[in-house]
Structure 1
Amino acid sequence: MGTAALLRAAGIGLGDEVIVPAFGNVEVAAAVTHVGALPVFADIDPLTYCLDPAAVEAAVTARTAGVVAVHRFGRTAESAGMHEVGRRHGLLVLEHSECEASYDEVARRRERAEYLDARLRGVRPPEGGDGHTYQQYVVRVPGNGRPDRDAFARALRAKGVECRVPVKTPVHRLPEFRRWVSLPETERAADETLALPVDGSLTKREMRRTAGACNALGGLLQPAA
């Protein structure tokens, strides 16, 4: 059952608010509007890129009826904290998962992630944590935010490394969902993050190319003073 159907089944609709992340997953905000409710955006934890329970708590109003927590990049949201907020305020708490992968595929990704963890310099690797499946291997590029991150990505692609910006525009900045709300961690993540390849089919040579290209560029980009 989809998010909209679950919200509707819980009686959530016109006049209600549902707290959602703005760091990607526009379909979650769209599901909220589909049932007539208002998506309210809360900030993320900068390590997991999932909703921060404290930010969710701060966003609760008398009209809040639910929360949709999204598991991102192979990391899980802090479910215990989210459900505790839900219990305190009588809210429906839904958990939205990204695509699942087989055990073998996850094992191969973890092997490649461990390789990069041990070799990358000049970028900040992702926090591993228990259960990380590395659906995406998301690093932080130091420097002056989006301009340096984008330049870094272009340079990597020129060296034959496939990389992508995981969230180009936070949902609260899209025209159809525009909100004047302060989400500093969401904004920072959108400006600094870059997903490097850790697909299970990548060869050792390709992994060496990724690490070498990043390391050759990383020293050129210094954090802003």
Structure 2
Amino acid sequence: MLRAAGIGHGDEVIVPAYGNAEVAEAVVLVGAMPVFADIEQSTYCLDADAVAAAMTARTAAVIVVHRFGNQADVGRMRDVGQRHGVLVLEQGELDAPYDELAQRRAHAAYLSGRLSGVVTPDGGATHSYQQYVVRVPGNGRPDRDAFARAVRAKGVECRVPVKTPVHRMPQFRRDVALPETERAADETLALPVDASMSRRDLQRVVSACNALGGLLQPAF
């Protein structure tokens, strides 16, 4: 997409730091410079205001990445792009078959209605729950990691969706303030929501998480 748009040496491309490095790597491969902007707290997708603040005279494009099944606010991002004369590109996520998507949404609704030890996703009609990502309250990464270990010990598979934001990786290190990106990397945990899960599997997730939630209190 970048090559087709004529983007290359001397250009800047605004990308999210919350996620894997492949988008920033693609920018580098065409000779351009990745510039990192912060994300929205609720969707984990690029924040339009943060993107506007990151614009410079060399900004040629913005790459919007839909994350975990959340849909970025592409309409608002395109408004920003039009005001600044900047191209807005999307990196989408593959849609699941309808039956699988409906089952994932049903499982997500079950978890969201019963989990009390974590902050559940905002959801919404367009969320496809490719990953069911919660936030663990408490003291950031130490509490999140301890929570994950305890949940795994109870037989529930879970994983940290983004361990290191891209702007903290050695090859892309930038001295830039991205508070929502940092907070998300420290607090998020992906719980299982596969379409193949049984009601008993879901109950096990709820039981494991709720038994631990009261042990973690927000730091003041």
TM-score, with length taken from structure 1: 0.97
Equivalent residue runs for 1:59-208 within 5 Å:
59-208=54-203
Residue 129 of structure 1 deviates from its aligned partner by: 1.6
Q: Which amino acid aligns with 1:148?
A: D
The number of aligned residues is: 220
**Matched residue, 1:31:** 26
1:160-206 residue CA offsets vs partner (Å, 9 max, x unmatched): 00000000000000011100000000000000000000000001111
Residue 25 of structure 1 deviates from its aligned partner by: 2.9
Q: Which amino acid aligns with 2:109?
A: E
Gaps of 5+ in 2: none
**Matched residue, 2:42:** 47
Contact in 1 for aligned 2:157/2:191 (Cα 8 Å): yes
Residue 11 of structure 1 deviates from its aligned partner by: 1.1
Gaps of 5+ in 1: 1-5
| Mapped partners of 2:203, 2:142: distance in 1 | 26
Residue 130 of structure 1 deviates from its aligned partner by: 2.3
Residue 103 of structure 1 deviates from its aligned partner by: 0.8
**Matched residue, 2:11:** 16
Partner SS state of residue 212, structure 1: helix
- Runs of 4+ displaced beyond 2 Å: none
Q: Which amino acid aligns with 2:44?
A: Y
Partner SS state of residue 152, structure 1: helix
**Matched residue, 2:204:** 209
Contact in 1 for aligned 2:41/2:184 (Cα 8 Å): yes
Partner SS state of residue 123, structure 1: coil
**Matched residue, 1:223:** 218
1:45-76 residue CA offsets vs partner (Å, 9 max, x unmatched): 00000000000000000000000000000011
Residue 8 of structure 1 deviates from its aligned partner by: 1.1
TM-score, with length taken from structure 2: 0.99
Residue 24 of structure 1 deviates from its aligned partner by: 0.6
Residue 26 of structure 1 deviates from its aligned partner by: 1.0
Contact in 1 for aligned 2:20/2:165 (Cα 8 Å): no
| Mapped partners of 2:187, 2:94: distance in 1 | 24
| Mapped partners of 2:213, 2:101: distance in 1 | 27
1:31-54 residue CA offsets vs partner (Å, 9 max, x unmatched): 000000000000000000000000
Partner SS state of residue 9, structure 1: coil
Q: Which amino acid aligns with 1:111?
A: A
